[in-house]
Structure 1
Amino acid sequence: MTDTRRNTGTWIRRFHPSDAPVRLVCFPHAGGSASYYHGMSRTLSAETDVLAVQYPGRQERRAEPCVGDLAELADLVLEEIRPWADRPLAFFGHSMGALLSFEVARRLEHEGVTLSALFVSGRRAPRLTRHGDLHLRSDDELVAAVRKLNTDDLRLLDEPEVRDLLLPPLRGDYQAVETYRYEPGPVLGCPVVVLTGDQDPQVTGDEARAWREHTTGAFELRNFPGGHFYLNRYATAVTEVVATHLRNLRIPRHGTPRAGGPGKHTTGKPPMAPCRKE
């Protein structure tokens, strides 16, 4: 029977419920919301059950306080993800979402659950995180800095009423990222696929390749033309990268997790396509 649960609480959005054999959990960027992944969910729904994380402080959760500490946010998200680990899990995160997905993946592995794959986009490796103070600056300075990264989706900031709604979560997320402290520990065991724009001012080639140090699993780096939000223009190509890797997992359609009973599973390393040359 198809699992059609839609009442996923406040943290998880499930736009297109699916009984597919693998679940993909998507983590938004700073200031972003779960709806950013609606298109990816629709495209992948025939093969993947897509969930999107909704952080506090935005859209229907705008009355809730933002979480300005990334470690605390990872702990909270982990609690919400556990019930969905009855199928193999993969994560996709962009920018702040990449960093957060990594931290949640670390916590899951500590509990005995290894992801099928971790897709990280638009973010340097966690050990190379640079600290900043944008979250402490004026509204105008914060908006100006963010516009340099994403000129396509921030026109709404020109509307005062909308700006008042968007700035608190944006500032809170920047606080979480800029105060993040990487804690050395066991590396991941899952495959890691890094996606980046070749003109992203936030991520150099070396910083993207450094993700290799955070896993003993397979590693791949994929470059796309464009800046920090290259995936706005190349959404179809990015989604196809994800779909191809998840197909290669060869998980039986009604297979069961392999270790530790319900909610506990491990995965072997799937074959990975060769890296696109930089």
Structure 2
Amino acid sequence: MTADAAYVELWIRRFHRSADAAVRLIAFPHAGASASYFFPMSESLAPTIECGIVQYPARQDRRSDPPIDDLMALADLVTEAVRPLADRPLAFFGHSMGAALAFEVALRLEAGGVRPAMLFASGRRSPTRPQEENVHRLDDAGVVREMRRLSGTDSRFLDDEELLAMILPAVRSDYTAIERYRMLPESRISCPITVLTGDSDPRTSLADAEAWEEVTTGAFTQHVFRGGHFYLADHQSEVINTITDALLPLITGVRSSWRQR
């Protein structure tokens, strides 16, 4: 295994590898989540779209790695893991904190000459609409209350003191990273952005989601689903269809070029 390959393996989980995939979709989990959250998405998209999922430090098989509480530093590290995967078209899907991280990785890749085909920003307000949030400053009970409010974590984890003690350091680190994050002024990407959001998300208004249009010079599309911050748990098939439909022209084009070789 080369050094590059080892670094990719450290950061990216590819549960359903496909040598014939026309596109790679890199998925960026929300705060406190691990790569396995997107296993169902990976399974549904394979083999036409190969899903690579970012595995942040301090969870699952990276539990012994120290957490990173600076989103810009995290973006630098993830960018280097994603770059070797650009041997075929790349698209990004980020949920909540993951959407902001995906945007920052896209910025860095474009600066280096690699333009993602699409950024799917889910459950997150535009980086142009920062808000003061301090969940990371709360005590453990306060952090758990916020996790329950958003309904994105299995209650079995939140009710088990031993499991909770294992996941809270990563959760707090992630909240610190996203709540302190501010994009650099005038940051823009050229790749298209497709926004997905729940119509009753307590953290992201429809107007704040629509403001993602301000950070791209490319095309912009918005899809609204019934539900809250984790609307995608109840609309898995619709989300998969949204991704597939948006990437279909690219998939068709790639396969057409393969046939002409």
Q: TM-score range by the shorter chain?
A: over 0.9
For 2:195, the equivalent position in structure 1 comes to 194
**Inter-partner Cα distance in structure 1 for 2:55 and 2:36:** 8
Give the alignment of 1:125-204 within 5 angstroms: 125-150=126-151, 153-204=154-205
Which amino acid counterpart does residue 92 of structure 1 have in structure 2? F
Residues 123 and 203 in structure 1, CA contact (< 8 A), matched pair in contact too:
yes
Q: Which amino acid aligns with 2:173?
A: G
CA contact (8 A) 1:194 1:211 kept: yes
Does structure 1 conserve the Cα–Cα contact (< 8 Å) formed by 2:8 and 2:81?
Answer: no
Q: Cα 1:152–1:75, aligned 2, differ >3 Å: closer, same or farther?
A: closer
CA deviation profile, 1:48-78 (whole Å, cap 9, x unmatched): 1110000000001111110000000000000
Between the aligned partners of 1:173 and 1:154, the Cα distance in structure 2 is: 19
Corresponding letter in the other structure for 1:200: D
Alignment match of 2:255 (pick from 242, 253, 256): 253
One-letter amino acid of the counterpart of residue 228, structure 2: G
Q: Which runs of 5+ in 2 are unaligned?
A: none
In the alignment, what sits opposite 1:101? 102
C-alpha displacement of 1:46 = 2.2
The equivalent residue for 1:13 is 13
Partners of 2:78 and 2:105 within 8 A in 1: yes
Deviation track 1:127-149 (CA, whole Å, cap 9, x = no partner) reads 11213221121000111012111
Shift of 1:101: 0.2
Residues 13 and 51 of structure 1 are in contact (CA less than 8 Å); yes or no, is this contact kept in structure 2? yes
Contact 1:131 1:180 in 2 (8 A): no
**In structure 1, how many angstroms separate the alpha carbons of the residues matched to 2:95 and 2:257?**
29
* TM-score normalised to structure 1 length: 0.87
For 1:7 and 1:103, how far apart are their aligned partners in 2? 19
User: What is the CA deviation profile of residues 151-193 of structure 1, one whole-angstrom value per residue up to 9, with x for unaligned ones?
Assistant: 6623311101100111011000000001112212342111100
Q: Distance in 1 between matches of 2:231 and 2:101?
A: 20
Query: Where do residues 15-164 of structure 1 align in structure 2 (5 Å cutoff)?
Result: 15-18=15-18, 19-150=20-151, 153-164=154-165
Counterpart of 1:238?
239
Letter in 2 for 1:16: H
- Structure 1 residue 6 displacement after superposition: 10
Cα deviation digits, residues 105-133 of structure 1 (max 9, x gap):
01111111111100010000001121322
SS in 1 for 2:42: helix
Paired residue for 1:218? 219
Q: Distance in 2 between matches of 1:151 and 1:100?
A: 18
Worse overlay, 7-16 or 165-174 = 7-16
Pair 1:227–1:56, CA change in 2 (3 A): same
Tell me if the contact between 1:157 and 1:166 (Cα under 8 Å) persists in the aligned partners: no
Shift of the 240–217 alpha-carbon distance from structure 1 to 2, 3 Å rule, reads same
Distance across 2 between alignment mates of 1:151 and 1:88: 30
| CA–CA separation in structure 2 for the residues paired with 1:171 and 1:124 | 20
User: What is the CA–CA distance in structure 2 between the aligned matches of 1:118 and 1:156, rounded to whole Å?
Assistant: 31
CA distance in 2, matches of 1:213, 1:168: 34
Moved more, 153-162 or 133-142: 153-162
Residues in 1 aligned to 2:24 and 2:257: alpha-carbon distance in whole angstroms:
13
Percentage identity across aligned positions? 49
Cα distance change of structure 1 residues 200 and 135 upon mapping to structure 2, 3 Å threshold? same
Distance change (3 Å), C-alpha of 1:150 and 1:253: same
